[in-house]
Amino acid sequence: MLDRAKAILKEIISWRRDFHLHPELGFQEIRTGTKVAEIMEPWGYRIRRGVGRTGVLADLGNGNPIVAIRAEMDALPIQETNLVDYASQNAGVMHACGHDSHVAMALGAGELLSTEKFPGTIRFIFQPSEEVSDGEGLSGAPRMIQDGAMDGVGLVLATHVEPTTPCGSIRIGSGPSSGGVDSWFGEIIGKGGHGAHPHQTIDPFYIAAHVILALNGIVSRRLDPFDLAVISIGSMHGGSTENVIPDRVKMTGTLRYTQVGVREKIHAEIRRAFDISQTLGGNYELKIETGTPPMVNSPEASGMVETVARDLIGQENILPWKDELGAEDFGCYMELASGAMFALGTWSARYNCLLHNPDFDLDENSLVIGSAILAETALRFLRGGFKRTKN
């Protein structure tokens, strides 16, 4: 499968560069979805357009088992600074997180699998809006799920480019592989007045200072040291001039976690931190918005990926997963089926810029590895190969 992927590398690169030239923001991926459908349909895939708003489903085969391969299509609101002939043509929009590569690798896997015979069904999930949520707080994964993307799926696979891991290597592991993410929105309510007479006011900034200390103490003093979690303040706004103490101060932030119980504890502790407002004579309003769950690689699925990777690129090129709390809505799919995401190394001396950076680019030789592992893992699952080799 790796040799076959190498034979279509130029094609995979051409797809990736085309998507990179024409990036689209979340739930706006009209061109991207249209092109994906146009590429997949001649290979015999049954296409559903407009899934989860702007997503695409592509099925090949019939019946069970069903294995799904997911790729997200959206770009970021970043102005690209790369001086390459495939740099973004859409001002202020860039594929700085590698989603163009994910789509191209899924297409590569789709082409490789289109000539294979297998029992069951292969489903490609081309998902919109992994990066942002809509007005109802939902990103692309739950929207796709609402429209039936995971109906009957027994295994779901994905990859994500990883620019600090050498090209030619992957990272894979079981257990929590990214953080769940929620957002919080707080407003501290005081009593405004003249800056020369603070004793006649209830200063919301003074109260906010104590709330901030309490928030920053949650992870270090209220959670078990072995519970991975992050609480960050992202914005703080209040007042409009230098000599007036305002009535209110607004604060917003994010929280990350890997266990449901920890999440519930953090929610309670954030409320406790804002309760300080009442102790100091003020009040508050607080809303905690539930986001996407943690991404948890199942031992079965991650074992399948590792077995295939060992056969294709060798054990020496399989590295342990890096624990971190970045969010990824692929976790929504993994709540419904056994699944795994592997990190694809894209680093080389020339390509060493991090994700979400206006200079981000990658070593495109890595793309054949992603396509081959996705295709071969799906194929062995459908053919029952893993059952026969299970220890």
pLDDT value for 382: 97
First to last CA, the chain: 24
Give 365: exposed, middle or buried? Use CB within 10 Å, 0-12, 13-18, 19+.
middle
182 is catalytic: no
- What distance in Å separates the CA atoms of residue 360 and residue 313, rounded to the nearest whole number? 25
Contacts of 103 (CB under 8 A, 6+ apart): 15, 16, 19, 32, 36, 71, 72, 73, 126
Please answer whether residues 318 and 373 qualify as being in contact, where contact means their C-beta atoms are separated by less than 8 angstroms: no
**In a 3-state reduction of DSSP, which class is residue 344?**
strand
Residue 50 confidence (pLDDT) above 80: yes
pLDDT in tens, 25-35: 999 999 999 99
- Domains in the chain with CATH codes: 2-177+294-389 (3.40.630.10), 180-289 (3.30.70.360)
Choose, from 130, 182, 247, 363, the residue flagged as catalytic: 130
Please give the distance of CA 111 from its chain centroid, rounded to a whole number.
25
pLDDT-derived band at 185, boundaries 50, 70, 90? very high
- Tell me, what's the pLDDT at 244? 98
Give which of 157, 164, 180 is closest to 71, Cα–Cα. 157
pLDDT band (50, 70, 90) for residue 13: very high
- pLDDT-derived band at 327 (thresholds 50, 70, 90) equals confident
Q: Is 130 a catalytic residue?
A: yes
Q: Per residue in 194-245, pLDDT tens? A: 999 999 999 999 999 999 999 999 999 999 999 999 999 999 999 999 999 9
Six-digit token string for 316: 């020496």
Task: Please determine, for residue 388, whether its predicted confidence score (pLDDT) is greater than 60.
Answer: no
Q: What is the pLDDT of residue 23?
A: 98
**Residue 389 confidence (pLDDT):** 35
Using DSSP's 3-state secondary structure scheme, residue 289 falls into strand
What pLDDT, in 10s, does the model give residues 276-319? 999 999 999 999 998 999 999 999 999 999 999 999 999 999 99
The rounded distance, in Å, linking the Cα atoms of 373 and 297 is 16
Predicted confidence at residue 137, as pLDDT, reads 87
CA 331-108-86 angle, 5° bins: 95
Residue 38's H or E segment, with its range, is helix 30-40
For residue 70, the 8-state DSSP code is E
**Whole-number average pLDDT of the chain:** 96
Dist CA 312 CA 368 (whole Å): 11
- Give the CB-side neighbour count of residue 221, counting CA atoms within 13 A: 9
What beta strand segments (E) does 258-385 contain? 283-289, 295-297, 318-319, 338-347
Give the CA-trace dihedral at 355, 361, 364, 369, to 10 degrees.
0
In angstroms, what CA-CA distances link 63 with 59, 244, 290, 382? Answer: 11, 68, 35, 11
Taking only the tens place, the pLDDT of each residue in 73-111 is 999 999 999 999 999 999 999 999 999 999 999 999 999
> pTM here?
0.92
Beta bridge partners, 347, equal: 166
- Options 24, 74, 269, 306, the catalytic residue: 74
pLDDT at position 387 is 58
